[in-house]
Amino acid sequence: MLPHEIIYEIFDLDIISSDTDTLCHLRCVSKDFYEQITKILFSTFKIKSLFYLPEKCQDIKDILASGKESIFHHIKSLHLEMFPCSHVDMWFDVLETLIPRLANLQAVKWDHVLSNNDYPPLVVEDLETRLGLLPNVDEYFLTIRQHPDFIGSEFPTKRIPVPPFNLRKLSVQWWFSIRPPSPIMSQISTLVANSPDLESLSFDVTHDFNFEYHFGDQVLFEEVFSATSSLPTDLKLKSLETRAIEVTSDDFRRHLRHFRHLERLRIRRDPNLEAPKNIGEILQVLLAERIFLKCLLVDVFHHPGVFEYLASYSGIEQLALKPRHTFDCTPELVDQFFFSVLPAHSTTLKWLRLGMDWTTIWSGFLQPEHQECLKQCKALEYLYCWLLLEVEDVEDQNADVLTSWLETINKIPSLRQFKCPPIAISHRTYFLSVGSEHNPDSSIRRFVKHVVGDFRSHCRIDCEWTFRSNNYSKRCFFH
């Protein structure tokens, strides 16, 4: 019999742990299997106040009252989807009793939906306090979501649920048409400052909202870190991610002491017109301080400081370049990437993503000299690139763009997964009327599937096709 720790690790693999039926059957194999699988089956507990009927709420109350709490000590992650509805107060009552019994809770995911009607007075604050008393919670994922029926130009509440945690990981998603008011940004910044062990911080403002006229001023990077200025000790952040937040090089430099252990940086959808300059200068600051990232994702990168930084060292493991600016798409920049950046990380790069669902030079034919550079990435396991294919390519059976990538990946021995979705035509020149019988995107996807299938028949790649977001993905498993 394998040790319990190994059994647990095997069952906890994503491909197995997501298959509840299989796990339930495996629990019947032996006592050891039963104990290890039970830990996985009940490791996550979800409460959805809108979709769970009051009867289910009463069932949980009855279990808590009966003292049969054998499953609760297995719960490591609590997911709360709190939606203002007629029986939401019943769920707050359940949580009041449940939370003190979650002794092994490590992560809280709170999806907080706000409407014009606020939640019952003080119940959110009481829930925050109870969560803050749990000793092992070090991950908090907070989503502030707008109710579909919300009407108004002012944010509907004065505070959001921010328990007094000492966190290792914090993620905030702002899915609301009004920017976070100053008191709420102060709440978030204070939580950051009160988490001396914080390693990962993500702040995501949905860009569908932040460009609307009534959103208000853009959220600033300085607002997130303002409370950390007076800290006597430095944070040791390893991962930092922002989306639709203005990140200036001056703000980044002002809080640099908290980023000296930074390994992962993702800056997306920065609404500042000077975002290209700021990203380039931020990476130059890192270069001057000899802070070398292992993971970088940016969507504007034509500033000379970006590729100068990336070509200055070896060690990148994950890299994503998603061109959002016209100047990101010049032949000179593509050459610089393949001839200067890629060789610097050819022995360490494991994950690479190029292009986006839009027509750019990054999604075209892979030139032979660029192919040779990519083939030298001997550690590469995952490659994602959008491909530019037209209806005319299907009609002429022209697969040159796709074949140039397929022939290249066949020479990368470590590659495990290659995704090559074609750029959606609906984003370009074709606009389909309702009820149209001909969908050019579908014909292109069928063509891609045919080309990859034909390529598979005479190479050493085994391919599995999936259909996701109207794009085909190709998973490659090398024999």
Alpha carbons within 13 A on the beta-carbon side of 453: 8
DSSP code, position 226? G
The count of other CB atoms within 10 Å of the CB of residue 258 is: 21
Alpha helices in 255-365 (DSSP H): 275-288, 304-310, 331-336, 342-344
Take residue 55 and report the two structure tokens written for it: 């009867």
Q: What is the mean pLDDT of the chain?
A: 84
Take residue 132 and report the two structure tokens written for it: 């803050």
Question: What is the pLDDT, as a whole number, of residue 167?
Answer: 95
Q: Render pLDDT for 271-304 as a digit per residue (tens, 0 to 9).
A: 999 999 999 999 999 999 999 999 999 999 999 9
On whether the CB atoms of residues 359 and 324 are closer than 8 A, the answer is: no
What is the band of 263 on the pLDDT scale with cuts at 50, 70, 90? very high
pTM above 0.85, yes or no: yes
Report whether pLDDT(430) > 60. no
Q: Render pLDDT for 40-90 as a digit per residue (tens, 0 to 9).
A: 777 888 887 766 666 777 777 777 777 766 678 889 999 998 877 767 777
Q: Render pLDDT for 308-366 as a digit per residue (tens, 0 to 9).
A: 999 999 999 999 999 999 999 999 999 999 999 999 999 999 999 999 988 899 999 99
Q: Render pLDDT for 226-262 as a digit per residue (tens, 0 to 9).
A: 999 999 999 999 999 999 999 999 999 999 999 999 9
DSSP code, position 339? I
Alpha helices in 42-155 (DSSP H): 54-66, 88-98, 123-132
What is the band of 121 on the pLDDT scale with cuts at 50, 70, 90? low
On whether the CB atoms of residues 173 and 204 are closer than 8 A, the answer is: yes
- Treating both helix axes as pointing N-terminal to C-terminal, what angle do 400-409 and 368-375 enclose, rounded to 10 degrees? 30
Question: What is the pLDDT, as a whole number, of residue 202?
Answer: 98
Q: Which residues contact 166 (CB under 8 A, 6 or more apart)?
A: 138, 194, 195, 196, 197
Take residue 143 and report the two structure tokens written for it: 């989503």
On whether the CB atoms of residues 192 and 227 are closer than 8 A, the answer is: yes
Q: Are strands 351-354 and 461-468 parallel, antiparallel or unpaired?
A: unpaired
DSSP code, position 411? T
Task: Determine phi and psi for 139, rounding to 5 degrees.
Answer: -130, 130
On whether the CB atoms of residues 121 and 92 are closer than 8 A, the answer is: no
On whether the CB atoms of residues 358 and 427 are closer than 8 A, the answer is: yes
In 3D space, the residue among 140, 243, 111 whose CA is nearest the CA of residue 200 turns out to be 140
Take residue 11 and report the two structure tokens written for it: 């069952």
| CA dist., res. 260 & res. 324, Å (int) | 28
Cross-strand bridge partners of residue 175: 145
Overall average pLDDT of the 383-412 stretch: 91
Cross-strand bridge partners of residue 352: 319, 383
Q: Which residues contact 271 (CB under 8 A, 6 or more apart)?
A: 207, 210, 211, 218, 244, 246
Report whether pLDDT(440) > 70. yes
The count of other CB atoms within 10 Å of the CB of residue 22 is: 14
Q: Render pLDDT for 360-389 as a digit per residue (tens, 0 to 9).
A: 999 999 999 999 999 999 999 999 999 998
The count of other CB atoms within 10 Å of the CB of residue 20 is: 10
